[in-house]
Amino acid sequence: MPSPELQAALEAAEAASVVVRELYRRNLAVTTKADRSPVTEADVLAEQAIRGVLSRHFPSYGFFGEETGRHGMDAESIWLVDPIDGTKSFVRETPFFSTQIALLRGDRLVLGVSAAPAYGELAWAERGAGAWLDGRRIRVSAVSRLDAAMLSTGNLKTLAAGPGWTRFGQLVTEVDRLRGYGDFVHYHLLARGALDAVVESDVNILDIAALSVIVEEAGGRFTDLEGAPVTLDTTSVLATNGPLHGEICRRLAGDGI
């Protein structure tokens, strides 16, 4: 039975999905924020819908939203919300965007919901209760060799500009297949065992908080590219099925190449 918090997060994700479905492919005006990322009316209204649901159920909880910023960050429990992760895809009318809702309690992410209404998937997880995709429990793959692994990438600008790019290139030559699904898509695929590892840079915690819980509850591992746990300051990702994690992390750090 989902906890009241997970039920509230799922309700909030559905409220956002109603907004997003109504406004998708409506040629909305796009505003550029200070960080040069785009925002539309759909982003703002979807976050309002999410915050309304979560605040009604848990008024004492903090809230950190992509559009409205940080509120009550000294609370023990804090909602982390990106109403439309992938606004550029939303604007370009491709379905690779999602609503991300996670709950941080203390320094631990305890649940995550990843809703992709245009793509047609809903994933969620809660600590100790497994990971689920469209009502079906999911599990990562058991692939343990690099030459049998499928690797997906996204947001590699920072990696490409630094010394890790050469090491990443060497890693690419050793895996079985390379793909670039990006955004929520490759994390859903990883969690259900359809690929084996994900490498990203240039992310923020609101992009990945919910997805980290989903991948870990599916049996995988989720860290930054140096192998450190996910925190509010995380900006890169190495997510794997587990058996591949140490080897890929070592190679990206320069060992064994």
pLDDT tens-digit series, residues 168-203: 999 999 999 999 999 999 999 999 999 999 999 999
Q: How confident is the model at residue 253 (pLDDT cuts 50, 70, 90)?
A: confident
Superfamily per CATH, domain 4-129: Fructose-1,6-Bisphosphatase, subunit A, domain 1 (3.30.540.10)
In contact, 29 and 38? CB cutoff 8 Å: no
Total Cβ atoms within 10 A of residue 161: 10
pTM, to two decimals: 0.96
Of the given ranges (28-32, 120-124, 210-214), which has the lowest mean pLDDT?
28-32
In the chain, the percentage of residues whose pLDDT exceeds 70 is 98
Q: Measured between alpha carbons, how far is 200 from 156 in angstroms, rounded to an integer?
A: 6
From residue 199, alpha-carbon distances to 38, 70, 126, 127, 238 in Å are 24, 28, 23, 23, 5
Beta strands 62-65 and 69-71, pairing class: antiparallel
Close Cβ partners of 247 (under 8 Å, ≥ 6 residues apart): 146, 256
Structure confidence at residue 257 (pLDDT):
33
Domain ranges of the chain: 4-129, 146-252
Fold of the domain spanning 146-252: D-Maltodextrin-Binding Protein; domain 2 (3.40.190)
pLDDT above 90: residue 256: no
Q: Pairing mode, if any, of strands 150-154 and 197-201?
A: parallel
Nearest-angstrom CA–CA distance, 123 and 211 = 9
